[in-house]
Amino acid sequence: MSSVLCIALHDVAPATWDACRGWLDELDALGAGVLTLLLVPDFHARGGFDTAPAVARALQQRAARGDELAQHGLIHLDRAPPPRTPTAWLRRRVLTAGEGEFAALDEAAAALRLARGRDMLGMAGLRVAGFVPPAWLASAGTHCALRAAGYDWTSDHRALYDLGRNARVAAPVLTASPRSAWRRGTSRLWLAAMLRATRGVPVLRVGLHPADVAHPALMHTWRAVLRTLLAERECSTKSAVLRMQPTVLHEARVA
């Protein structure tokens, strides 16, 4: 498998389920293969999967057919102490709209949130082995906590990380920002440019968000991008990519 596509649906939760289901219907209609579904245990502190058994059952059914379930933070909000530098402020408050939950946590704080989130998912019958931090932002303490807790893998906006083998696989991601009209317009141009720029990349990721569904022009662009990618690449989950031969994936050891 020399040309791989990992499609991940972010922010999956009872609070976002109607929009998530819209994306899943779109992807099924496009003929997408297996997906990685990023579950937020208590999205914006609005309730967990134990309060929405129908949603939990739907996700269990998706997992049974081959989709991968992964943990995506705990509440998806950055409640760490405020940033102290302009760069940190830009990163945690502007670019990510204050949702980089694991961006500034020490190991102990990250471990508590990881454990609480995995327990909440487990109580709803949802098993996860991978973790993706909200906004792809994770502190060094978070990485230590992930290894200590036995998670298999994680990712950021540049790569996938096999935590057991301490290895990195380059895998750029195409994503959009639907938060404002100018961001959506810029995202449509960016997606078209990145589709061309990443054509020769062995492993490419797509990061979709429930909020995309509310914007017809953005969805029109996404459909065109996904049709092109699905015609050129084979779908895989993130964990399956990490199980491939290193020579195929250009794997590099993490320092």
Q: Tell me the CATH number at 120.
A: 3.20.20
Is the pLDDT reported for residue 251 higher than 80? no
Residue 183 lies in a domain: no
Which residue do the tokens 């098993």 mark? 127
38-62: per-residue pLDDT in tens? 999 999 999 999 999 999 999 999 9
The answer on pLDDT for 18 being more than 80 is yes
| 151 within some domain | yes
Number of domains composing the chain: 1
Ordered DSSP codes for 96-155 = TTT--TTSS--HHHHHHHHHHHHHHHHHTT----EE--GGG---HHHHHHHHHHT--EEE
pLDDT of residue 84: 61
Q: With respect to residue 190, please indicate whether it lies within any of the assigned structural domains.
A: no
Any domain includes 153: yes
**Tokens matching residue 62:** 């998706």
State the residue range of the domain holding 135: 4-173+202-209+232-245
User: Is it the case that residue 98 has pLDDT exceeding 80?
Assistant: no
pLDDT band for 140, please (50, 70, 90 cuts).
very high
pLDDT at 94 over 70: no
Q: What's the whole-number average pLDDT of the chain?
A: 90
**In this predicted structure, what is the pLDDT of residue 1?**
45
State the average pLDDT over residues 226-235.
97
226 part of a folded domain: no
Token pair 């405020």 is found at: 82
Q: What is the DSSP letter of 64?
A: H
186 belongs to a structural domain: no
| Residue 140 placed within a domain | yes
Task: Give CA–CA dist 216/141, Å, rounded.
Answer: 40
CB 217 within 8 A of CB 188: yes
- Between residues 190 and 84, the one the model is more confident about: 190
Q: Within a domain: residue 254?
A: no
Confidence of residue 162 (pLDDT cuts 50, 70, 90): very high
Q: What is the pLDDT of residue 81?
A: 59
pLDDT at 80 over 50: yes
At 99 the pLDDT is 74
Higher-pLDDT residue of 61, 80 = 61
According to the model, what pLDDT value does residue 227 have? 98
What percent of the chain lies above the pLDDT cut of 70?
87
* CA–CA distances in Å: residue 143 to residues 6, 33, 105, 239, 254: 22, 30, 10, 17, 12
Residue 48 has φ and ψ, to the nearest 5°, of -95, 180
